[in-house]
A = this chain, B = another copy of it.
């Protein structure tokens, strides 16, 4: 289906142009006109893929979690559950330029006014997707009896999710103070405390 592939590629190409604008000038600079120019495409061609600015924005935000899912899909499990969960968490943190771009775009959406219902729904959709990921990781560790028995699993899932997103935010705010090495070490140290 070469036509379908081409269609997906074009949409991704346009969303990536939107990402560059978000990182450089902020979310408010994203208009169909600016994105078409950034992508080197005509406004008419862009409108073939995205009928409106809000469609383009929604696709751009979903692409952030989509990219994480894609990395998780091709993830090479080592068979060591603790190590695998740590490495899966690394896939969600800005430890390289690719993931840093995702983190900045995610944070741009997250910082949008809570009073905007369409954006708020989009934030919650992406939040739910990531939350499910953390559920699966913690349930996996629990299923192989690696977790302490005195833990409240629901609470620990929310905690881990909040810790990871807090580190993502701090790393975007202050990359010199919260480095990739710091994030990796902090996650490891947090998991240590949960282990039986």
Interface string of A1-42 (1 = CB under 8 A from B): 000000000000000000000111111100000000000000
CB of A53 within 8 Å of the partner chain:
no
A140 to chain B, nearest CB (A): 21
User: Which residue on B lies nearest to A104, using beta carbons?
Assistant: B114
Partner of A163, one of B113, B166, B178: B166
Q: Total interface residues on A, using CB and 8 Å?
A: 47
Task: Say how far A113's CB is from chain B's closest CB, in angstroms.
Answer: 4
A113 pairs with B108, CB closer than 8 A: yes
Q: Select which of B28, B169, B174 is within 8 A of A26 by beta carbon.
A: B28
Residues of B within 8 A of A158 (CB): 170, 178, 182, 186
Quick one: CB contact mask for A106-124 with B, threshold 8 Å, 1 for yes? 0111111111100010011
Pair B170/A162 contact, Cβ less than 8 Å: yes
A164 within 8 A of B: yes
Task: Say whether A189 faces chain B, with CB atoms less than 8 Å apart.
Answer: yes
* Pair A116/B166 contact, Cβ less than 8 Å: no
Tell me the smallest distance from the CB of A156 to a CB of chain B, in Å.
8
Sample (26) of A-B pairs whose CB atoms are under 8 Å apart:
A22-B113, A23-B113, A24-B113, A24-B115, A25-B113, A25-B115, A26-B112, A26-B113, A26-B116, A27-B111, A28-B28, A110-B111, A124-B174, A127-B177, A152-B189, A158-B182, A159-B163, A159-B190, A162-B166, A162-B167, A162-B170, A162-B178, A163-B166, A166-B167, A169-B169, A193-B193
Q: Name A's B-contacting residues (CB within 8 A).
A: 22-28, 104, 107-116, 120, 123-124, 127, 131, 152, 155, 158-159, 161-167, 169-170, 172-174, 177-178, 182, 185-186, 189-190, 193
